[in-house]
Structure 1
């Protein structure tokens, strides 16, 4: 695993779902990049005026964690399910072709957020295992306030745990502060305390202090 692409519905999902993993892999010398699908703001009143703020947050978080941002495709927020799947897939494919990741992380099918589920569907389609395709591994991450709020869906069942060092965890917290406008006061699920509690719970599940969890969807070893 040398080159990883995070395909996230919105800027902030990458840090909530895999911020510690990103920092760990960058620290280990891996090349990590993010591709954002939706603008993350226009579903809210006055959201168009905040797109720039979210973009700045994404750039600041990338500077903290050490990854690069390939692009924000600026599809309408919380309306990806109204965009033809082919349009999203065809927007993703050139970035996969240019960046040539061997591993892709994206959202879980268990997420309540429709953009997240659409991101997974588009990612799996863009990364279908054709001969010569660069992507060998695909996994889903969990996002607090999306993955745990969907009682109608199968639960997120991780089968891979990435242990986080103290440095990895501190950098994730620092990167989350770049999206502080998206965080909420405890006991909201998307609070700093809840994010920490999830990392400790995932870590305890694997016998370490803190971890982030993934569900492996496809894993090829040549």
Structure 2
């Protein structure tokens, strides 16, 4: 990554971590010293290298683990309110953001609408009998990353998941408990708010999944 792109990446991520919102163009110009045209070019390249995600209106919607709109997970710290990009991201934010080592992560079951919330900390997984369901195998996450994130959800139990699968016609993906979700999220984004940041290579990602107990074809061929 070029120094310019890393400077822009860090400015965007730092703003999202500290305030829960994207910096404005004027704020980015002032902070980085780059022109609006240079910023636009940098953000295009950051999206191409999977550091940012644009929506259909070409607005930044994801800078994992942060989202700029509702992806069904709110994350409330003592000082900041964030959108998490998915179940994985929602549990990751309290493990990543300095000064906010505890946060209330809230969502609703996609099948029945029951509200769920957990106090997520860096000390260990929260209590709960709910289950996480990831629809898209890791090898295809970036085929449509917005769709992927919208379908990494938490259900009340197996009965709710089965109901949702029957109603939507989706195939069953990966299912695991909250403790495994927390282990997955706790270290995945380590270093993302530092510089320089280097994304994991696919083999490194696969090894990380295995280290938290997630193995098998669903987790293989993980994209960088």
Give the TM-score, by structure 1 length: 0.30
Larger radius of gyration: 2
Which protein, 1 or 2, shows the higher relative CO under an 8 Å CA cutoff with sep ≥ 6?
1
Give the TM-score, by structure 2 length: 0.30
